[in-house]
Structure 1
Amino acid sequence: MSLSEDDKCEKGVQAMTRTKKFSKLFCELEGCREDEQKQKIKEMNEMINEMNEGEFKSVFTVELFDKILQMIEEKTLSLERATLLLKHVGYCKKLKCFFCYSFDKSSLSRRMREKIIDENEKIKVEKDEMLLIELCECFAWLNEDFISKELFSVIVPRLLKVASKKDENEETQKEVEMALLALSHISTCYEMKRELYLKEIKEIIEYHQEHRNLTRLAYQTVWKFLMSRFFNDDSLEEVIADELHFAREAAKELKELGNSVDWKRKEERRKETKVKEVSVIKRWLDVISEFTFSCTLRNGELEGLFCSLVQVFKASRDNYPDAFRRCINSLRNASENKDVKIDDLLKSGTVGLYMEEMKQSTLEDGIISDCLHFFMSIPERLKEKTNEESEEVKRKEMKREILEKMEEEGYEDIIASLYGFISFVKENDIVNYQETLLNI
């Protein structure tokens, strides 16, 4: 059931009230004592937690960031108080995957870049890193623009130092989570030498695997950071897949997170909600999609990962479209990756789920496209042979079963019916598909 017009109107009024209250509190900061400023910033941070992307962009403009810098320079707002606000702004921006470029265009961004370099020189004498770490976190969260190599070489080691803390108390866990979240959003466009990060990242992951000291979000973000480096360094795959066991760990996390979510309740109506768990699941699915698209190693752990994807696929279908689409995309990537064993996809029940989806009359074009790409790769993948005779016997039986299933479900007719409707489905594709099925 969609939101009623009254519900939409009420949400719109709440949003307008929230942004107006935020702006009022911000304007009052200049005339407050430090203790009052701290209280007002706490209230503002609570409002940020509730903002959607539209509200966020309407509040955090270039003018607001420029005003913050002006207040710092005029000493009506201390840098310490400003970072309390800015850290939370950036944290929520990254956690909710908002894209907002106003910070990058502001004078505050330019001044923060300069301040980070200045503080880095200063700590060589004073040995106090606290302010530098705070500035690095703020900048990594808020920035969407290019980072110079000089700045990059300062920010990454400082954030890794925080992320490597091993205390399991709640305060330290939060610090580690925030540092890893900032690190994980550093663009894949930046090529990073392994010496700058790999030893520390491996230690963080391996220590968690043994001691379970990270929050679920922190553990996901450390993998996101490592997978982002894989984008420019495919030699990392051995570390990711065989040493750190990404597929095994992702499967376990998806299963545990999925079991903690009430999938039957519509996302927009979940008041008590486990929004954070759903957000972490989506983030895992994004990283899994990258992995299934690029992985080449076969270590026997992918079947378990696909089974977990199928579990989320089924659970999220009705009420969580964003998670559902991500599952569709991850499994499509796997079906097209020649290094992924087709047996792993078949045994996990993936093909049956896609067949069920294709028969739905309300599919979006994007989902139809993913389903078609998946199925148009299956016949070719079924023609692959194994080296061992016993395995080939099993494969032939599996081929026969899947072919019968596809014929039973009328998949050939479904593809044919979409000719002329989906641009990439050509008449030759239908003929080739039919011939391939007959010659498996």
Structure 2
Amino acid sequence: MSVCANVKPEERVQMMTKTEQFSKLLCEPENCKEVEQMQKTVEMSEMINEMNRDEFKSVFTKELFDKIYQMIEEKTLSWRNAILLLKHIGYWKTMKNVNADGFNRSLLYERFEEMIIKEEEKKEEKNERLLVDLCECYLLLKEYPSLEFILIFVPFLLKAALKKEENEETQKEVEIALLALSNINEYSKMKQELYLNVIKEIIQYQQKHRNLTKLAYQSAWRFLIYRLSNDESLEEVLVNELHLAREAARELEELTRNMDWNRKKEEEMSKEEAKEKLLLIRWLVTADDYLSYCQLWNEEFVELIGSVAQIFKAAKNNSSAICNWSISFLRVAAESRVVKVDDLLKGKAIDVVFEELYQPALEDRNVCNCLDTVLAITGRLEEKTDNEMEEVKRKEISRKVFEKMEEEGYEDTTTSFYETIDFLNNEYYYVLSLNVSDYFVNI
């Protein structure tokens, strides 16, 4: 007799893997009417929300996308419901930052490319709604989309993102269009004429009227920052015209206020809190990229650095992912020549780094980032210059930094980590043991 023979139906469903549960739900619409199909699609969407990254990768394989393709071709799944489901899969693939290439290798991917080319080549009466749907699904699901298709997608998606109505349905449409655009990576080169005026209009209108969702606004910035990697002339627009550092700081501070930092288990988060956590991480990643690409200084850097420093302190006992991205940003800021050491001092980044190193229990990844940050700051403070005014300023900042260290007792911490820092200076960073803290001398 089967082990599951005496198991109740609802218990049997719980015993299934996520892959089995999703496959079972996917097959159910075959004999359903359109409205029932819609309901099943909603159920599948809810299941996707609850998957972790490993579960997501195990479910959304080439075979599953081939199954969706087959159901569409056999008309057992309507295009309307297929698009709805695929957008939801792509939404969470993007939000959870999952690398999964099942769609890339599927028959569905080939079908999408055929449809996009056919629709785009029409001389007149293009079905723009269909094209936008296809473009969004393609960009949300495809790993490394080709430039040929990107140049087709951008004008249609920017046009969709220009809608300014504040009703919920329009806001969601704009959000998905901008989220899809944010998936166009930094390796994809495109001329400013294709996107700059429209994306500036979207960002500036949001700054004045606040008509976008938080995710839509973040996605607009992410799309623009990726363009900076291949086009330095965008720096003036980003830094002094659109004020990215100021806007990122404001968004991060608002997200930080909305988080319940006393919650110890992430499983206890509501769906809305979980989304806000993912959004906060997306902003931290975007800010990290910004400093990596940008070479133009702005006094608003202090505000952004201060916001991230506060996030790190708030998240220390709550979210390792947020902590990791926060300290990574502070390391990039310390290493970046566009950020001044005085900015790090004013933004409390130096305080945060030494406070973390002073802890009795340390997480290896954070320790390595903190040590790299210390090395970057001390190295820059030791760099002398022939410019007399700059040299006076360097010495003054050095004095402030080391006085602060002395006041807080952090000079002892630096001494205790001397051998580890020397180890790093000799470029042995990548052969540290798994337990980096073993190299430290306890105070």
Q: TM-score by structure 2 length?
A: 0.87
Q: Distance in 2 between matches of 1:249 and 1:102?
A: 36
Q: How far apart are residue 235 of structure 1 and its match? A: 1.9
Residue 403 of structure 1 aligns with which residue? 402
Distance 1:401 1:145, change over 3 A: closer
Q: In structure 1, what is the equivalent of residue 266 of structure 2?
A: 268
Residue 170 of structure 2 corresponds to which residue in structure 1?
Answer: 172
User: Residues 158 and 49 from structure 1, CA distance in 2 versus in 1: closer, same or farther, beyond 3 angstroms?
Assistant: same
Matches within 5 A, 1:362-381: 362-381=361-380
Q: Which moved more, 1:137-146 or 1:99-108?
A: 137-146
Structure 1 residues 186, 419: CA separation in 2 closer, same or farther (over 3 Å shift)?
closer
State the AA in 2 paired with 1:259: R
Three-state SS of the structure 1 residue aligned to 2:124 is helix
Letter of the aligned partner of 2:416 in structure 1?
A: I
| Letter matched to residue 296 of structure 1 | Q
Partner letter of residue 221 of structure 1? S
Whole-angstrom CA distance in 1 between matches of 2:77 and 2:322 = 41
In structure 1, how many angstroms separate the alpha carbons of the residues matched to 2:309 and 2:392?
26
Q: Deviations over 1:335-387 (max 9, x none)?
A: 11222111111112211211111122432332222111111122233356797
SS in 1 for 2:121: helix
Instruction: State the number of aligned residues.
Output: 412
| Residue of structure 2 equivalent to 1:102 | 102
Q: Given that residues 310 and 349 in structure 1 are in contact (C-alpha distance below 8 angstroms), is that contact kept between their aligned partners in structure 2? A: yes
Q: 2: distance between equivalents of 1:188 and 1:103? A: 21
Per the alignment, residue 206 of structure 1 pairs with: 204
User: Could you tell which deviates more after superposition, 127-136 or 192-201?
Assistant: 127-136
Contact 2:144–2:185, Cα closer than 8 Å, also in 1: no
In the alignment, the residues of structure 2 paired with residue 190 and residue 280 of structure 1 have an alpha-carbon distance, to the nearest angstrom, of: 23
CA distance in 1, matches of 2:248, 2:141: 28
Quote the residue 1:436 is aligned against: none
Look up the match of 1:40: 40
Q: Which residue of 2 aligns with 1:433?
A: none
Give ranges in structure 1 of 5+ residues lacking alignment.
1-12, 428-440
- Residue aligning to 1:233: 231
Residues 1:68 and 1:237: Cα distance change in structure 2 (over 3 Å): same
The aligned amino acid for 1:291 is Y
More displaced stretch, 158-167 vs 34-43: 34-43
Alpha-carbon distance change, 388 to 267 in structure 1, aligned in 2, over 3 angstroms: farther
Query: Is the counterpart of residue 303 in structure 1 residue 302 in structure 2?
Result: yes
Q: Which residue is equivalent to 2:316?
A: 317
Cα distance, 1:49 vs. partner?
Answer: 1.3
How many angstroms does 1:25 deviate by? 1.7
Q: Would you say the 8 A contact 1:303–1:347 is kept in 2? A: yes
Distance change (3 Å), C-alpha of 1:358 and 1:227 = same
TM-score by length of 1: 0.87
Query: Matched residue of 1:362: which SS?
Result: coil
CA RMSD across the alignment? 2.4
Task: Work out the CA distance in 1 between the residues paired with 2:36 and 2:256.
Answer: 42
| Farther off after superposition, 209-218 or 338-347 | 338-347
What does 1:147-226 align with in structure 2 at a 5 Å threshold? Answer: 147-149=146-148, 151-226=149-224
Q: Residues 288-367 of structure 1: matches in 2 within 5 Å?
A: 288-367=287-366
CA distance in 1, matches of 2:424, 2:236: 38
SS at match of 1:188: coil
**95-104 or 269-278, which moves further after superposition?**
269-278
